[in-house]
């Protein structure tokens, strides 16, 4: 089971890496944190994305949609605050 979670984590990180340049073009960034046992992906929004009023829309309509399209077993992508 651990190898399945590690494989899923690697795939999610690959998708996030494909999305990152678009966020970085707008002064933001995204960092993968973890996948929970419930298949929820936790990410941290950085830079301009951390304070942008549209970040939730970007997260749900952009990042979450891309991840769930490629990996239907993922239930959601959530932004969490790390180190605060």
Res 81: pLDDT: 83
Q: pLDDT digits over 8-67, tens only? A: 999 999 999 999 998 999 899 999 999 999 999 999 999 888 887 878 888 888 899 999
2-79 homologous superfamily: Fe-S cluster assembly (FSCA) (3.30.300.130)
Which tops the pLDDT comparison, 84 or 69?
69
Verdict on whether the full-model pTM lies above 0.85: yes
Give how far Cα 81 sits from Cα of 33, 43, 51, 68, Å: 10, 8, 12, 22
Binning pLDDT at 50, 70 and 90, where does residue 83 land? low
For the chain, the structural domain boundaries read 2-79
The tally of CA atoms less than 13 A away on the side-chain side of residue 44 is 9
Q: Is the dihedral of CA 7, 9, 10, 12 positive or negative?
A: positive
Q: Distance between CA atoms of 37 and 75, rounded to whole angstroms?
A: 11
């Amino acid at each position: 089971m651990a190898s399945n979670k590690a494989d899923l984590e690697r795939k999610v990180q690959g998708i996030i890496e494909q999305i990152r340049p678009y966020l970085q073009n707008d002064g933001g960034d995204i960092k993968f944190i973890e996948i929970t046992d419930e298949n929820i992906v936790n990410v941290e929004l950085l830079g301009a994305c951390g304070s942008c009023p549209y970040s939730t829309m970007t997260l749900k309509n952009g990042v979450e949609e891309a991840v769930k399209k490629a990996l239907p077993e993922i239930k959601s992508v959530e932004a969490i605050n790390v180190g605060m």
